[in-house]
Amino acid sequence: MTVTIYHNPACSTSRKVLGLLREAGHEPEVVEYLKTPPSRPELKKLLKKMGMKPRDILRRSGTPFDQLGLGDPGLDDEAILDAIGAHPILMQRPILVTEKGARLCRPVEKMDEILP
């Protein structure tokens, strides 16, 4: 099974999910999304697989969320995608992708939904 993790090594939750994957015998493709952010089409594909909207994956803490006014409920999905594209740190992590789907692994147990 192919497993991909959108990972931030500075994030304890992301490190935990990566460790649990490896303990379970999976060697995932690791995408350090701060170094190699997903393209807009890739991000839209991930969101569709997760059944989420761009606002659902926004991270506030330690990001320019407030400075960019991303709490404004009037912002549409395209504006939020623009912000994530310009500032990948706004994307919650980790996101795990397998043949069974994709999940934002917050909490960590969400990974169990798409692993064999």
For residue 72, the enclosing domain spans 4-113
Instruction: Render pLDDT for 33-85 as a digit per residue (tens, 0 to 9).
Output: 999 999 999 999 999 999 999 999 999 999 999 999 999 999 999 999 999 99
C-alpha angle 56-61-63 in degrees, rounded to nearest 5 = 90
d(CA 21, CA 26): 5
Please give the backbone phi and psi of residue 103, each rounded to the nearest 5 degrees, phi first: -145, 140
Give the largest Cα separation in the chain, rounded. Answer: 44
Domain count, the chain: 1
Percentage of the residues of the chain whose pLDDT score is greater than 90: 98
pTM comes to 0.94
- Do residues 104 and 95 touch, judged by C-beta distance below 8 A? yes
pLDDT, residue 1, reads 83
Catalytic residue among 4, 11, 65, 106: 11
Q: What is the CATH number of the domain that holds 52?
A: 3.40.30.10
Residue 11 annotated in active site: yes
Residues of the chain with pLDDT > 70, as a percent, come to 100
For the cut 90, the answer to whether the pLDDT of residue 116 exceeds it is no
